[in-house]
């Protein structure tokens, strides 16, 4: 090989698909920095997409010459942190659990059912996805509607979906787009008068004992009805127990700050391993992205319609927008509902109700992931 | 397209069973919250 060939070997071998993926990486970095869309994930993912799509990338396992094996750092991170044990998304759940205050939900427990109703998008998407994909992939794509990145990664990985990279990108991108997607979906199925409905808020004190017992009860209940959800729910509730127990303040703070930051940093760059041109640049990716959007819209619609259904029988009317906050995107969804409530009526403050529904969505989404993991393998 | 009647039946089964299980799970957690908070409320009323 002469020197010029050696110098331009990589340039000559780069494919148009790899160039597309490098463009996608730059787009993700742009969205993270300029539009502030989930920057902690999109920026590492974007940079990782550039890293893994350069020919002979040293971040992936390579064979140098004819015999020398060179391990790649990002491939190793993926194999150890996601493929072997799903430990990265699970550790992230400890941090998320340590960040969530279930107090508003304990004070107003009937709103827990909105968390269940707002998972509707997951299941309607599985049905629609079944027209395009085989069962395990349709189920993995449906879980984008959990509005919960770690759950999406975990379910897609365990089900060995062929569309893991697209699912990951869709899950995180649409979470960042909740402030745009949800108002559109809510307005589709509500009138202005419905959005004006006021809900009095009577704050109740919740004892620390109740807050301590709650994560233990949720873990046991989830384990009984969907054992496959235990990894997800258990780690989430373990983090919450650290927060509420009152004797592990430094651990709780470490989980909710340092651990979350560290895992988020590694998770973003690790999942970019699957963003290679060969896996990503195809028409199925576009279909997955479309179905992900569909799932988010129908989650919102499901929650809103459930609230309207309850209003048929209830004397104290519920603002239907509270149903939309039942998705797991916390706290973006609650903020959207509060903002829309104030837009419809400047005196209409729905934030605390929306927060209650929103944290119940956290529980329901991981439960949904576990339920899918329990049911789908039986049908394969 | 990957349409097959078997696939459709499977996805319909996953969907109704999944939604029902989530509602049952949340109903049990709701009852647990009521049990957790009710005695405490009575105590504070005294």
- Dmax (CA) for chain B in angstroms is 65
What's the gap in Å between the CA of A8 and the closest CA on chain B?
A: 41
Q: Helix, strand or coil for residue A99?
A: helix
Cα distance between residue A252 and residue A233, in whole Å: 17
The C-alpha torsion from A229 through A233 and A234 to A235, rounded to 10°, is: 120
- What is the tens place of the pLDDT at every residue in A344-378? 988 888 898 999 999 999 899 999 999 999 899 98
Q: Residue B45: what pLDDT?
A: 54
Give per-residue burial for A317-351: e unless 16+ CB within 10 Å, then b.
ebbbbbbbbbbbbbbbbbbbbbbbbeebbeebebb
* Domain total of chain B: 1
Decide if pLDDT at B46 tops 80: no
- Best CA proximity match to A133, nearest among B35, B41, B26, B10: B10
Decide if pLDDT at B41 tops 70: no
List, for chain A, all residue ranges whose pLDDT scores fall below the cut of 70.
Answer: 1, 6, 65
Q: Does A130 reach chain B within 8 Å, measured CB to CB?
A: yes
Q: Are the Cβ atoms of A226 and B41 closer than 8 angstroms?
A: no
- Best CA proximity match to A96, nearest among A22, A151, A27: A151
Which residue in B11, B23, B37, B45 has the most chain A C-beta atoms within 10 A of its own C-beta, making it the best mutation to test that interface? B11
ipTM above 0.90, yes or no: no
Strands (E), chain A: 62-64, 68-70
Cα distance between residue B8 and residue B1, in whole Å: 12
A214 neighbourhood in chain B, CB within 8 Å: 32-33, 36
Structural domain harbouring B6: 1-46
Structure pTM? 0.85
Q: Residue A272: what pLDDT?
A: 86
Pair A73, A234: CB distance under 8 Å? no
Within 8 A by CB and 6+ apart from A376, the residues are A135, A136, A139, A159, B14
Q: How many CB atoms lie under 10 A from the CB of residue B9?
A: 12
- What is the tens place of the pLDDT at every residue in A162-204? 888 889 888 877 887 888 899 999 999 999 999 999 988 777 7
Q: Are the Cβ atoms of B18 and A372 closer than 8 angstroms?
A: yes
B40 → chain A, closest CA residue: A207
Cα distance between residue A55 and residue A18, in whole Å: 8
Q: Which two tokens stand for residue A326?
A: 């039942």
Which residue in A122, A159, A221 has the most chain B C-beta atoms within 10 A of its own C-beta, making it the best mutation to test that interface? A221
């Amino acid at each position: 090989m002469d020197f010029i060939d050696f110098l331009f070997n990589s340039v000559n071998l780069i494919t148009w698909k790899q160039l597309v993926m490098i463009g996608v990486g730059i787009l993700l970095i742009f969205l993270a920095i300029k539009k502030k869309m989930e920057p902690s994930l999109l920026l590492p993912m974007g940079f990782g997409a550039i890293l893994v799509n350069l020919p002979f990338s040293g971040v992936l396992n390579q064979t140098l010459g004819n015999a020398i094996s060179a391990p790649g750092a990002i491939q190793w991170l993926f194999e150890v942190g996601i493929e072997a044990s799903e430990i990265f998304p699970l550790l992230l759940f400890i941090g998320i659990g340590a960040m969530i205050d279930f107090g508003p939900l304990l004070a107003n427990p009937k709103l827990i059912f909105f968390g269940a109703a707002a998972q509707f998008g997951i299941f309607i998407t599985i049905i629609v996805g079944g027209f395009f994909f085989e069962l395990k992939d349709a189920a993995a794509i449906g879980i984008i509607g959990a509005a919960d990145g770690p759950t999406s990664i975990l379910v897609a990985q365990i089900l060995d979906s062929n569309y893991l990279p697209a699912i990951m990108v869709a899950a995180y991108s649409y979470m960042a787009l909740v402030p745009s997607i949800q108002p559109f979906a809510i307005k589709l199925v509500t009138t202005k008068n419905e959005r004006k409905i006021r809900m009095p808020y009577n704050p109740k004190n919740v004892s620390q004992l109740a807050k301590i017992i709650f994560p233990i009860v949720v873990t046991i209940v989830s384990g009984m009805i969907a054992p496959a959800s235990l990894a997800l729910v258990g780690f989430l509730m373990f983090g919450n127990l650290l927060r509420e127990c009152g004797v592990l303040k430094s651990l709780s703070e470490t989980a909710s700050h340092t651990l979350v930051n560290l895992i988020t940093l590694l998770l973003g760059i690790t999942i970019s391993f699957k963003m290679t041109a060969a896996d990503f640049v195809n028409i199925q990716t576009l279909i997955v992205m479309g179905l992900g959007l569909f799932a988010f819209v129908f989650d919102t619609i499901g929650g809103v319609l459930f609230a309207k259904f309850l209003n048929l029988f209830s004397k104290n009317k519920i603002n239907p927008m509270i149903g939309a906050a039942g998705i797991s995107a916390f706290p973006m969804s609650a903020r959207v509902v509060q903002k829309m409530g104030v837009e419809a009526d400047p005196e209409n403050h729905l934030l605390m109700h929306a927060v209650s529904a929103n944290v119940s969505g956290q529980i329901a989404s991981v439960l949904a992931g576990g339920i899918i993991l329990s049911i789908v393998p039986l049908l394969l | 397209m990957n349409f097959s009647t078997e696939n459709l039946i499977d996805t319909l089964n996953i969907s109704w069973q999944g939604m029902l299980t989530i509602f049952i799970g949340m109903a049990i957690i709701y009852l647990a919250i009521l049990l957790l908070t009710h005695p405490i409320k009575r105590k504070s009323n005294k």
